[in-house]
């Protein structure tokens, strides 16, 4: 007789929640545990907001997934416990993709994976959400927490989204990303310069915006690409797969796709720009101090989340109602 645990049976509503949670993710570690939780209650999730100096398009990806709540503190004793079990090699390996690698690392960089692992316990969450570059830290957390008496968590991973230049989105490369406070003119320039080769659906930042931000927020509303009648007239797409296939077959021209993305992004960014138009907010954005940087990130999420909620109509799909914390 098999001792393996049966996969939990989900209701139709729970299946829909699972689909929403895992949509567009590259990998899920602990899917059976995720299903088990959904049979009992809503999922509690934590994630890290990218620490860019500016409010960039990278901020949108976790925001589309998560809602925010307050962050409790952590404890010194558990840091000591983890530190007593973790070697320097393991700590460096866990942070390889997200911590700057140097010959003589600071102690803080070695503690980073330990502290991120402990966040899962002290935030009382079931899952942590992040980019696939966080995988080593997630695996590290899954190994370390049980060693000090805490449960292993679920880990949800987004694929690494290409920037507008076709490579990985970078905070240091201005034109590889959209700043959330970019003017319409700045947005137009960046989109027009973006890599969007005809028929190329790989490393295409413009298409990635459609897949990970614009189409999910449209919540089954058609994605419209406007074209002159002599060029075939307007095109409507219900899913990203339809859009991707049409672009691959070159029935959608890069110029037409860029115009559509520019229009939808301006629609998305307009209320965010308005919220940051006050003198106080302009001053906060203009002065890149460490204190202001953290405050900007917090304010950005509190402002962006309601905007996303308004765009994503709750009448068309069941809400996740997940308890989420953004670090």
- Token pair, residue 286, equals 């203009």
* DSSP class of 149: T
Q: Please give the C-alpha separations between residue 229 and each of 222, 233, 255, in angstroms, as whole numbers.
A: 19, 4, 15
The pLDDT of residue 3:
53
Q: How confident is the model over 72-98, as pLDDT tens digits?
A: 345 788 989 999 999 999 999 998 888
CB 318 within 8 A of CB 17: yes
| Residue ranges of the chain with per-residue pLDDT less than 50 | 1-2, 51-53, 67-73, 312-327
Residue 220: closest CA among 119, 299, 116, 318: 318
Beta-carbon contacts of 287 under 8 Å, excluding residues fewer than 6 positions away, are none
CB 175 within 8 A of CB 190: yes
44-47 and 223-225 beta bridge pairing:
unpaired
Q: How many residues does the chain have?
A: 327
Strand partners, 154: 127
- Homologous superfamily of the 184-275 domain (CATH): Tyrosyl-Transfer RNA Synthetase (1.10.240.10)
Residue 129: closest CA among 245, 26, 32: 26
**CATH, domain range 12-158:** 3.40.50.620
Indicate the domain borders of the chain. Answer: 12-158, 184-275, 277-307
Which residue in the block uniquely carries the two structure tokens 């509503």? 13
The pLDDT of residue 51:
46
Residue 127: closest CA among 34, 222, 24: 34
């Amino acid at each position: 007789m098999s001792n393996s645990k049966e996969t939990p049976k989900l209701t139709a509503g729970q299946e829909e929640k699972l689909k929403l949670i895992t949509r567009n993710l590259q990998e899920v570690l602990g899917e059976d545990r995720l299903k088990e939780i959904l049979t009992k209650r809503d999922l509690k999730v934590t994630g890290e907001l990218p620490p860019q100096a500016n409010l960039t398009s990278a901020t949108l990806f976790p925001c589309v997934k998560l809602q925010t709540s307050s962050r409790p503190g952590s404890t010194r004793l558990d840091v000591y416990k983890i530190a007593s079990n973790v070697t320097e090699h393991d700590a460096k390996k866990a942070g390889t993709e997200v911590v700057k690698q140097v010959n003589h690392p600071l102690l803080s960089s070695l503690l980073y994976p330990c502290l991120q692992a402990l966040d899962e316990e002290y935030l009382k969450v079931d899952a942590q959400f992040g980019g696939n570059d966080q995988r080593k830290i997630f695996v590290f957390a899954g190994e370390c927490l049980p060693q000090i008496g805490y449960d292993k968590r679920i880990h949800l991973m987004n694929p690494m989204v290409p920037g507008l230049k076709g490579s990985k989105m970078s905070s240091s490369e201005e034109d590889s990303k959209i700043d959330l406070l970019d003017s319409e003119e700045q947005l137009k320039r960046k989109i027009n310069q973006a890599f969007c080769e005809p028929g190329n659906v790989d490393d295409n930042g413009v298409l990635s915006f459609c897949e990970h931000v614009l189409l999910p927020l449209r919540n089954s509303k058609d994605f419209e690409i406007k074209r002159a009648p002599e060029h075939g007239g307007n095109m409507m797409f219900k899913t990203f797969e339809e859009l991707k296939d049409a672009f691959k077959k070159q029935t959608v021209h890069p110029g037409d796709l860029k115009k559509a993305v520019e229009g939808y992004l301006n629609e998305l960014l307009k209320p965010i720009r308005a919220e940051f138009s006050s003198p106080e907010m302009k001053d906060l954005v203009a002065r890149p101090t460490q204190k202001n940087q953290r405050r900007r990130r917090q304010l950005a999420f509190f402002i962006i989340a309601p905007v996303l909620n308004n765009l994503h109509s709750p009448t068309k799909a069941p809400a996740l109602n997940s308890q989420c914390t953004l670090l």
